[in-house]
């Protein structure tokens, strides 16, 4: 089955893939400034924002763009065991393999012995999952200026506190990612669909429909993805049920958006 609705549905699967990255003005500026910051002699960069604001996507894209030209490493899922963490970094950055456990002092020695021309950049996603102890070690590592860390954090009250206590004095740059505005949301949806050659469905998202979606998702990328995935799921279902409902690609009925919102739990019936 290769319907336009199925294709459109798959566009909104909640995956993080640099290929799917959509260029949005605000995100692009942030992206550029982060790229510049990496080149600057900063110790640490903190990237934070509410869940679903595109932090993982951002890091993935950054890694994808820079991995060929620079010494950059991305860890999407945190390595929670301290020894494992050092071992992984030692192997990836310094090509040093360890079979035994590796402690902080030993790893510090390796880091200091390196005389790299270029300081390696380590991107740590989901950093709120690291223990406070390991976080403190990461801070000490970055103080040596031998490794540069870009840390991505959920922004909640608790994590705000972590950000303040652990990084305030040491972080040289903080970058916040936010939900999309109405205009950005429209661009986001349409560009995403057009990337997958779903031009007809991209056209369905008038300003009115986007407004309705914005009301429900507040411009959160993940919520929007979920909503639109369900929306096109509804379309496909109607399509398969021999057109119980007259389907067209001129506009999205409010009913469908509301049904999708009920299904995804954005509104409670």
Partner 1 sequence: MLNIHELEKQWKIYKIKSYLPYALIIVSLSIIALITYIFYDTQTKTRLQHIKKSPTVKHVQVNIKKIKARDTNKTIIQLKAKKISKPKLQTEKQDKLLPSMNFMKNIQHEAQIYTHSSDPIKEKTTKRIRKKIKKKTSTNTIEDVRIKEVPKIHKEQKPDITIERKETQNDIMDIIKRFKKNNNPALSLFVAKKYYELGKYEQSYNYALITNQINSNIEASWIIFAKSLVKLNKKNKAIFTLREYIKSSHSSNAELLLNEIKSGKFK
Residues interacting with partner 1, by CB under 8 A? 230, 233-234, 237-238, 241, 244, 255, 258-259, 262-263, 267, 269
Owner of token pair 């380590």: 122
| Under rule CB under 6 A, residue 264 binds ligand ATP | no
- Which residue stretches of 156-206 are H helix? 157-162, 182-195, 199-203
CA pair distance 265, 269, nearest whole angstrom: 9
Find tokens 């951002």 and name the residue: 58
Stretch that binds ligand ATP, among 21-29, 68-76, 135-143, 208-216 (CB under 6 A): 21-29
Q: How far apart are CA 29 and CA 49, in angstroms?
A: 16
Residues 54-73 close enough to bind Mg ion by CB under 5 A: 56
Residues between 193 and 232 that touch ligand ATP (CB under 6 A): 221-222, 225
> Which residue, 77 or 95, has its beta carbon nearer to Mg ion?
77
Q: What is the CA radius of gyration of the chain?
A: 22
> Using CB under 6 A, which of 54, 63, 74, 146 touches ligand ATP?
54
Give the dihedral sign, CA 111/116/119/124. Answer: negative
Q: Smaller CB distance to ligand ATP: residue 53 or 146?
A: 53
CB-based burial label for 226 (10 Å; 0-12, 13-18, 19+): buried
Q: Which residue has the tokens 């999205």?
A: 252
**Minimum distance from residue 235 beta carbon to partner 1 (Å):** 10
Q: Which two tokens stand for residue 204?
A: 């369905």
Interacting positions 3-62 with Mg ion (CB under 5 A)? 56
Q: Report the DSSP pairing between strands 173-177 and 148-154.
A: unpaired
Q: How far is the CB of 264 from ligand ATP (least distance, A)?
A: 14
Of Mg ion, partner 1, ligand ATP, none, which one does residue 92 interact with (CB within 5 to 8 Å by kind)?
none
Q: With H, G, I as helix, E, B as strand and everything else as coil, classify residue 153.
A: strand
Q: Cβ of residue 127: shortest distance to Mg ion, in angstroms?
A: 10
Binding mask 144-173 for ligand ATP (x = CB under 6 A): ----------x-------------------
| Binding residues for ligand ATP (CB under 6 A) | 14-16, 20-22, 24, 27, 49, 51-57, 154, 221-222, 225
């Amino acid at each position: 089955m290769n319907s336009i609705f199925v294709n459109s549905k798959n566009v909104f699967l909640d995956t993080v893939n640099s290929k799917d990255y959509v260029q949005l003005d605000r995100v692009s500026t942030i992206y550029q400034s982060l790229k510049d910051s990496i080149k600057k002699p900063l110790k640490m960069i903190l990237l934070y924002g509410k869940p679903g604001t595109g932090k993982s996507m951002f890091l993935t894209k950054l890694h994808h763009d820079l991995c060929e030209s620079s010494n950059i490493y991305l860890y999407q899922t945190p390595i929670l065991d301290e020894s494992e963490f050092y071992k992984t970094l030692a192997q990836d950055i310094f090509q040093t393999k360890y079979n035994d456990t590796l402690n902080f002092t030993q790893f510090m020695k390796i880091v200091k012995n390196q005389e790299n021309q270029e300081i390696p950049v380590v991107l740590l996603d989901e950093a709120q999952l690291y223990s406070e102890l390991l976080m403190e070690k990461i801070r000490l590592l970055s103080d040596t200026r031998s490794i540069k860390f870009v840390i991505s954090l959920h922004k909640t009250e608790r994590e705000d506190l972590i950000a303040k206590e652990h990084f305030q004095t040491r972080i040289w740059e903080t970058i916040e990612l936010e939900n999309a505005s109405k205009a950005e949301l429209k661009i986001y949806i349409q560009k995403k669909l057009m990337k997958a050659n779903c031009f007809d469905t991209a056209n369905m998202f008038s300003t009115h429909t986007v407004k309705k979606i914005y009301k429900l998702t507040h411009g959160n990328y993940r919520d929007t993805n979920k909503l639109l995935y369900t929306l096109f799921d509804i379309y496909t279902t109607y399509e398969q049920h021999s057109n119980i409902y007259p389907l067209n690609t001129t506009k999205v009925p409010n009913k469908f958006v509301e049904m999708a919102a009920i299904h995804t739990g954005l509104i409670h019936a």
